Structure 1
Amino acid sequence: MRYLFLFITLSVLQLSCSSSKNVQYNADPSIQLQQILEDGTTIENGITGISLTVISPELDINFSNATGYDSTEKKQALQVEQPFRIASLTKVFVATGILRLHEKSLLSIEDVISKHISQEHIDILRKGGYNPDNITIRHCLMHMSGLYDYAEGGPDYIEEASKDPAKRWTRTEQIQFAMDHGKPQGAPGEIFHYSDTGYVLLGEIIERSLDTGLAEGLRSLLKFNELGMSSTYLESLEERPVSLLPNVKRYMETIDASNWDNSIDLYGGGGLVSNTKDLTVFLQALFNGGIYEQEDTLPIMLLKKEYNGNEVPSQRLGFGSVTGKKSGLEVYLHSGFWGTFFMHIPKYNCSIAMNNTNDGDNNVLQQVIDYVIWLGEQQSKP
């Protein structure tokens, strides 16, 4: 749901060491990152708890820890193994699943969505003013479908969901909600408009392409079990692993939404539960040949093939991207509604995942990035 990419781009991902030139860093990543983590949880910045994992085999970083509490009640210390609803980070997993189907020739990302979704949803889209024969899977992956975002195109959805937090939403209801509460945002391929609606349709496409449930489809396509991602599951659509610790609480400003039915954000735009360790395992596998089975699939996802010699848009297939103006460093990232975030820096093969127990004002991520860049520069010196 909530898409923080633009805010993160402006306030966090400066991707330069300018803010760290006068900082005295410890060359031991475990010591330095622990200090950054502890400094980030203070009464002043309103952060209750932070989980952080940073992995970079090239920089010899293997850090995972947490500080603070798992709820604003501050009764239970936060543990890094605790899972949490990752919200829109799920979109990267869904996009990866779609590209797995693409490389298995079960679909093409250039297919129009009308080829892969139900007649019921085709009819709903047509009545809402859309032509699903003109919207491609690629359009949905890149948020260029023109589909109004049912979740946060306006305040209506959250207001409606808050009236009955126990309501079990269906994908069809969410698609219909988009039709009833918004208009097409532009012609397909014309403009960027972030859309959960497009991703719930992509979730349906995974189901129908495999003739299975979304949970089973993601688990098999993305190799959760083979990768040892034992804390990752699609909440309420598959069994919760019995060995997991209690989930980190989720908040909507001051409202405890931890027990809201997760169907408010489930069918492709969100829905996964994970922890920072598993999230970095996923990123490391994705960028190092552990998920895709064809060498050209990752370049397709990152638009490294189609845009050679041309300006590449910041929105890739599932990921957002940022290139530092001073450093030239390129990263791939996504954020989520509940204070979740992950990113990968290919230059250092560095994966970072962070979760805030509640939203607040902190610069932990910026400090982590600055330190990673500094460490990379130190190791590159003769």
Structure 2
Amino acid sequence: MRRAHSALVTAATALAVMSAPAAAGAGESGDDGMQRRLDALVDNGAIGVLAEVRDEHGVWRGTSGAAELGTTRKVPARGRFRAGSETKTFVATVVLQLVGEGRLRLNDTIEEWLPGAVPDGDRITMRQLLNHTSGLYDYQDTLPMPPTPEFFANRWRTWTPDELVERAVAEPPTSEPGSAYAYSNTGYVLLGQVIENVTGRSYAEEIERRIIRPLRLHQTSLPGVSPLIRGPHPHGYLPTRLQGRTYLVDYTEMNPSVFDAGGEIVSSAKDMNRFFAALLGGRLLPDRLLDEMTTPGIAGETYGLGLAWRDTSCGIRAYGNDGDALAYQSWTFATQDRRREVTIALTPGINRDLDDVVDAAVDEAICG
């Protein structure tokens, strides 16, 4: 049995590394403004960060911080990372491709494809699973989370989709189906099972066959139960409490089955930009289904069928998604005309609340 904890690094060591000089940007052209945004992320608590920006000037790649605590090793600009909920956009794309092929309908219910899987499954549709209006409890909220020591006991555990769904349906629904937006990873676990029932192949195989291979996303994979991130990558860390002190645990290696179809993908900034550009450019879905994808489930929300959007400070709307895979966080957004794209990935430290600093970096890339 593998040991449950990696070497512990104290918060003091982490802060010393985080305040070290930022690594120089790497890329085809310079962008001082974007580099300053990456440095600001490290100054505000990220351990390491990488980004790729594509615009009318070409491609720019930059990094800041350290790839591994206790070292001065630079973050690999083309490194891989766990992309968390950006996986959902891949899953949603496959589901909508099946809709386009007439093999599935957005108004099909869970009960039709997964009989008995959830209570009142005849009232919950594929559309509601995709846009987080199903009312199903999020199974992740039933699990221990860092910094509690209990969280780390599950590090190498293999979870099955049925186990994750069972944890969710043991809790009461958050709302009536279709009446409110409430983010739920449970819905995407169920969608992964639906894909398998429709096609006879796992959601991972369908993503590989329909998206990864055609788009030549050579740095993108669905690891299943493999704990490794192959190829160059920054290390990821999580906080834990021991004897009244906060430490950072190297959590780069872990069993990603706990994420399942809601968040297991490992990718790179280059591949994420390529995927979202292909999606928004109509290479993966016809216009009518892409329109469905960009329609919110509830008026006023900014999440459609596996795709999110944000209005930047300059008034330009950008489409994409973000992901939180515990020790890694990522964001990919692009303008609808694909003239500007950005992917940012970071490894958070003790301070994980970096949303405002990330928003400024996305604005820098989209608005220029």
Task: Say if 2:39 and 2:64, in contact at 8 Å, map to a contact too.
Answer: no
1:81-230 to 2 correspondences below 5 Å: 81-117=78-114, 119=115, 122-123=116-117, 125-126=118-119, 131-152=120-141, 156=144, 161-180=151-170, 182-222=171-211, 224-230=212-218
Deviation at 1:77, TM superposition (A): 2.1
**What amino acid is the match of 1:32?**
D
Which structure's relative contact order is higher, taking Cα pairs within 8 Å and 6+ residues apart?
1
Deviation at 1:87, TM superposition (A): 1.0
Task: Say if 1:51 and 1:356, in contact at 8 Å, map to a contact too.
Answer: yes
Partner SS for 2:97: helix
Partner SS for 2:139: coil
- Answer yes or no: is 1:245 the counterpart of 2:245: no
User: Comparing 101-110 with 230-239, which one deviates more in the overlay?
Assistant: 230-239
- Structure-2 residue corresponding to 1:281: 274
- Structure-2 residue corresponding to 1:51: 50
User: Comparing 356-365 with 107-116, which one deviates more in the overlay?
Assistant: 356-365
* Whole-angstrom CA distance in 2 between matches of 1:216 and 1:95: 14
- Structure-1 residue corresponding to 2:309: 321
User: Comparing 205-214 with 353-362, which one deviates more in the overlay?
Assistant: 353-362
Deviation at 1:104, TM superposition (A): 1.3
Identity between Structure 1 and Structure 2 (%): 25
- When the two chains are superposed, the root-mean-square deviation of aligned CA atoms in Å is 2.8
From the superposition, tell whether residues 198 and 64 of structure 1 become closer, same or farther in structure 2 (CA, over 3 Å).
same
Deviation at 1:179, TM superposition (A): 2.4
Task: Say if 1:150 and 1:157, in contact at 8 Å, map to a contact too.
Answer: no
Deviation at 1:70, TM superposition (A): 1.9
Q: 2:290 aligns with which of 276, 281, 298?
A: 298
**What amino acid is the match of 2:308?**
G
Partner SS for 2:183: coil
Q: 2:366 aligns with which of 350, 361, 372?
A: 372
* Whole-angstrom CA distance in 2 between matches of 1:103 and 1:237: 31
* Whole-angstrom CA distance in 2 between matches of 1:232 and 1:140: 24
**What amino acid is the match of 1:140?**
L
* Whole-angstrom CA distance in 2 between matches of 1:189 and 1:262: 30
Deviation at 1:341, TM superposition (A): 1.3
- Structure-2 residue corresponding to 1:21: none
**What amino acid is the match of 1:257?**
Y
What TM-score does the superposition give when structure 2 sets the normalisation length?
A: 0.79
* Whole-angstrom CA distance in 2 between matches of 1:36 and 1:225: 35
Q: 1:336 aligns with which of 300, 319, 323?
A: 323
What TM-score does the superposition give when structure 1 sets the normalisation length?
A: 0.76
Task: Say if 1:83 and 1:275, in contact at 8 Å, map to a contact too.
Answer: yes
- Structure-2 residue corresponding to 1:10: none
* Whole-angstrom CA distance in 1 between matches of 2:39 and 2:107: 47
Task: Say if 1:36 and 1:364, in contact at 8 Å, map to a contact too.
Answer: no
Residues paired across the two proteins, number: 324
Task: Say if 1:301 and 1:316, in contact at 8 Å, map to a contact too.
Answer: yes
Deviation at 1:273, TM superposition (A): 0.4
Task: Say if 1:30 and 1:61, in contact at 8 Å, map to a contact too.
Answer: no
Task: Say if 2:280 and 2:338, in contact at 8 Å, map to a contact too.
Answer: no
Deviation at 1:345, TM superposition (A): 2.0
**What amino acid is the match of 1:250?**
G
From the superposition, tell whether residues 371 and 209 of structure 1 become closer, same or farther in structure 2 (CA, over 3 Å).
closer
Deviation at 1:61, TM superposition (A): 3.6
- Structure-2 residue corresponding to 1:70: 67
Deviation at 1:335, TM superposition (A): 1.9
- Structure-1 residue corresponding to 2:243: none
Structure (1/2) with the larger strand percentage = 2
* Whole-angstrom CA distance in 2 between matches of 1:163 and 1:371: 40
* Whole-angstrom CA distance in 2 between matches of 1:107 and 1:149: 24
Q: Which runs of 5+ in 1 are unaligned?
A: 1-27, 376-382
* Whole-angstrom CA distance in 1 between matches of 2:62 and 2:189: 33
Deviation at 1:139, TM superposition (A): 0.2
Q: 2:258 aligns with which of 261, 264, 271?
A: 264
From the superposition, tell whether residues 163 and 274 of structure 1 become closer, same or farther in structure 2 (CA, over 3 Å).
same
Partner SS for 1:183: coil
